[in-house]
Amino acid sequence: MSTDFWVDALSVGVDEFDRAHREQLNTIGEVEAALGRGDRAEAVMRLEHLLQHLIRHQAEEMDLLVRTSYPGIDHIRETQSANLARLNRLREQVETGGALPDARRIATEMRMAFVDYLLKGDINFKSHLDMAGYGYR
């Protein structure tokens, strides 16, 4: 049984982004579960999926923010880069035989940081996208 970590308070007001963020958040949860079971192969597979998904999503998100002249784009760009680097480090740790309980703790911290970021960071561009005609609310 999978856990859905999504709550509507995390919405940035764009269906496509909300779906992507929900998938990212829940995939991190699946990584945590795999690490908790000691299933290194499953964790690596989920991490690779998450990395590929995140790369695509970040490019789409950045494209929209550039096209709409979002004023906080540098912060978004820095955060995206840091998130990819952190996720790559976690994948390498799991792939190279690192301690799974430590990796699980890192994954949990990543999930919690992602929620925090959505609540405090991405949500800032919700009103910007609404004004640019991209929001749905």
Query: What are the distances in angstroms from CA 96 to CA 19, 80, 109?
Result: 31, 24, 20
- What are the pLDDT digits (tens) for 45-57? 999 999 999 999 9
Domains of the chain: 12-131 (1.20.120.50)
pLDDT of residue 1: 45
Closest by CA to 43, choosing from 113, 103, 112, 85, is 103
Sign of the C-alpha dihedral computed for residues 31, 119, 64 and 86 taken in this order? negative
At 38-84, the pLDDT tens digits run 999 999 999 999 999 999 999 999 998 899 999 889 988 998 999 99
pTM: 0.89
Q: Between the CA of residue 117 and those of 83, 100, 101, what are the distances in Å? A: 11, 25, 24
Angle at 58 between CA 107 and CA 74, to 5 degrees: 100
